[in-house]
Structure 1
Amino acid sequence: MTNSTLPESFRDLEPFVDEWALATREERYDTRMARTIDELDRFYDAIAPRAEEAIDYLNGFDLEELPEAETTLLHLMYSLVMVSYPVNVFRQPKIPDSGAAFFDTVVEPEV
């Protein structure tokens, strides 16, 4: 029996689970905003090369009936999306030139 929280073929990503496998957009955004660009880079550089493989793997499941390990992997992919613009475009966690503006989600989208 294993204590792994990810599917076997993605266990190398385990070090990122506690910090980045977050269930809500708000949690992912708050984590992004609390990290430096170097921390976002480390996460992105580890996860992005595995993204296509993870998506292909997850496409083999019914989204409404994902097992726990696959749900954790999906949450990592959601976090990857959350940090992709800061890493590739903004080069900082916050959207440039946005001042004190912020976006607060009232309702999570249904999946």
Structure 2
Amino acid sequence: MRASVKRPPTPDAEEEQDQEPTLQEIINVKFIESGEKERLKELLRERLIECGWRDEMKDLCRALVRKKGRNNVTVDDLINVITPKGRASVPDSVKAELLQRIRSFLASASL
């Protein structure tokens, strides 16, 4: 049997069963199962809208489209320009609030 050039060979089922999930995987599963992940995403959306971050990102996108021309901008162009600026401009208060909520969840989940 030939291995695919585009993807690695599929591991045997026995190998997958022997591997213990990592702490990160366990935490991610607990966040999803409890619905906390969706609540945190919604809280983040609300806070970013409240502080004007979302409007700021829209304005950056519009400025880039005006500069390059509507037909000369791709979604990838927008993502490459906006992502670093967007991450850097999230207010510290929003980050702190989310971090506190995550810590509270982890403490109550007793991992």
* Bigger share in helix: 2
Q: Which has the higher contact order (CA 8 A, sep 6+)?
A: 1
Higher Cα Rg: structure 1 or 2?
A: 2
TM-score, with length taken from structure 1: 0.25
